[in-house]
Amino acid sequence: MKIGVIGLGTVGYGVVEILTNEKTRLEKEMKQEIVIKYGCGLEEVDLPEEIIYTKDYHDVINDEEIDVVVELIGGTTIAKNIILEALNNKKHVVTANKALLAHYGKEIFQTAKANDVHIFYEASVGGGIPVLASQKESLIANNTKEIVGILNGTTNFILTLMENENLDFDEALSIADGLGYVEANPALDLDGIDAAHKICILAQNGYQKFVDFDQIQASGIRNVTKLDMDYAKKLGYRFKMIAQAKPVKDGLGIDVSATLVNLNELVANVMDSYNVVEIDNDYVNNIIYYGRGAGRYVTASAVVSDIMKTHQVERWSHDYEDCKHVYPISSSRYYVRASKPVDIPYETYYSEKDDHIYITEEIELTDLKNKLDDENAVIFKVRG
């Protein structure tokens, strides 16, 4: 097997390291030689001497000796060209590119099928957590009822800092950014876009439907305050940015939002940069996957696992229908903080100083807002 790695950043170099360090063991497992022929990146790095460095990805995808192209540059422009050209050149492809798969998965999967080659992408969701392989393989006997997860380690880290260190949002964000947790475009993390990419991929596999990403509603954690975190804790809840997908009406309900989760639930106790995915099925019920969602070796581990899969005969099937409609999941219990008592159906009420806090009964968001009338209330979803 001859491999070309395109993208020599944090994860790409991690892939080179693992394949180099574990070469003997992995070759024994695959019963064939594993050779990294090319390392492709805009800036040269210190590669093992047997690996050819190039700046031109065409050197990789046009080489007839290359069996597997590993795309790790990210983004939805050049990366798309690389993957489609590689597939059309009969190369197997391994990628960690969640944004590309969320936006253009249908085209990519159909191109792979047309050329009878593999496309694997475990590292696109949850870093090294083997959730996609489970969906495509281990859970194939089941129908998926609901998918819920903390899918962005950066926002989870920020929320943990706010709670544990008694910080407001901007202070916690500054620390997270200084530690390298925040994307170059912070909106991908903070506004829920990254998590939306991942829940889109999970939903497509779980419900076997191609999802129009632009129909997914996502909000992030920018409006979470230390004050609301404190009130939530007093009521037995903790803030998490929750991504959720489930069947509704004639389509799927999918959204991403800051949500109060009961402290008794496992999901509420996933802290720092860890991710968790909970899949509820009809036969095996709730399955939970937990681990770090990002990092050089965490993500590279999943990429190497996918490379190993490319020698198998059976492709992952993506013979999906188009999802007709994607709706926000708007029927929920809600946390409401108002400056005066309000007439809404509630399960729990708490007041402190000039704040009136409610945990509502399940209600449609539009109905809740109508009942609040002109009251400028703070509203967050409550899980369960």
Same domain, 103 and 226: no
Same domain, 44 and 93: yes
Same domain, 200 and 341: no
239-248: buried (b, 16+ CB within 10 Å) or exposed (e) per residue?
bbbbbbbbbb
Asked, for residue 170, whether it belongs to a domain, the answer is: yes
Same domain, 157 and 243: yes
Last residue of a domain, one of 73, 89, 120: 120
Distances (CA, A) of 242 to 148, 156, 256, 329, 334: 7, 10, 6, 12, 14
Same domain, 114 and 145: no
Angle, helices 226-234/153-164, rounded to nearest 10 degrees = 80
Residues 300, 285: Cα–Cα separation, whole Å: 30
Whether 55 is catalytic is no
- E strand or H helix at 372: helix 365-372
Same domain, 147 and 277: yes
Residue 110 in 3-state DSSP? helix
Per-residue pLDDT of the chain (384 residues; tens, 9 = 90+): 999 999 999 999 999 999 999 999 999 999 999 999 999 999 989 999 999 999 999 999 999 999 999 999 999 999 999 999 999 999 999 999 999 999 999 999 999 999 999 999 999 999 999 999 999 999 999 999 999 999 999 999 999 999 999 999 999 999 999 998 898 899 999 999 999 999 999 999 999 999 999 999 999 999 999 999 999 999 999 999 999 999 998 999 999 999 999 999 999 999 999 999 999 999 999 999 999 988 899 999 999 999 999 998 788 999 999 999 999 999 999 999 999 999 999 999 999 999 999 999 999 999 999 999 888 999 999 997
Determine whether the annotation assigns residue 278 to a binding site: no
3-state SS, 144-203, equals: EEEEEEECCHHHHHHHHHHHHCCCCHHHHHHHHHHCCCCCCCCHHHHCCHHHHHHHHHHH
Of the candidates 80, 91, 198, 240, the residue annotated as catalytic is 198
Query: What's the one-letter identity of residue 302?
Result: A
Determine whether the annotation assigns residue 183 to a binding site: yes
Residue 99's nearest CA partner among 67, 72, 70, 128 is: 72
Same domain, 220 and 255: yes
Predicted TM-score of the model (pTM): 0.96
Same domain, 373 and 279: no
CA atoms lying within 13 Å on the CB side of residue 299:
26
Residues 337, 354: Cα–Cα separation, whole Å: 10
Number of domains within the chain: 3
Q: What is the pLDDT of residues 75-111, one digit of tens each?
A: 999 999 999 999 999 999 999 999 999 999 999 999 9
* Distance, first Cα to last Cα, the chain: 48
Same domain, 51 and 87: yes
Q: What is the pLDDT of residues 209-225, one digit of tens each?
A: 999 999 999 999 999 99
In the sheet where 35-40 sits, what is the strand order? 52-54, 35-40, 2-6, 68-71, 92-95, 119-120
Asked, for residue 357, whether it belongs to a domain, the answer is: yes
Asked, for residue 298, whether it belongs to a domain, the answer is: no
For 53-97, give the DSSP string: EES-THHHHT-TT--EEEE-S-SSSHHHHHHHHHHHTT-EEEE--
Residue 221's nearest CA partner among 303, 152, 290, 130 is: 152
Query: What's the one-letter identity of residue 35?
Result: V
Asked, for residue 133, whether it belongs to a domain, the answer is: no
Asked, for residue 100, whether it belongs to a domain, the answer is: yes
Same domain, 116 and 188: no
Same domain, 191 and 79: no
Residue 62: which CATH number? 3.40.50.720
Domain with 205 in it: 141-292
Residue 155: which CATH number? 3.30.360.10
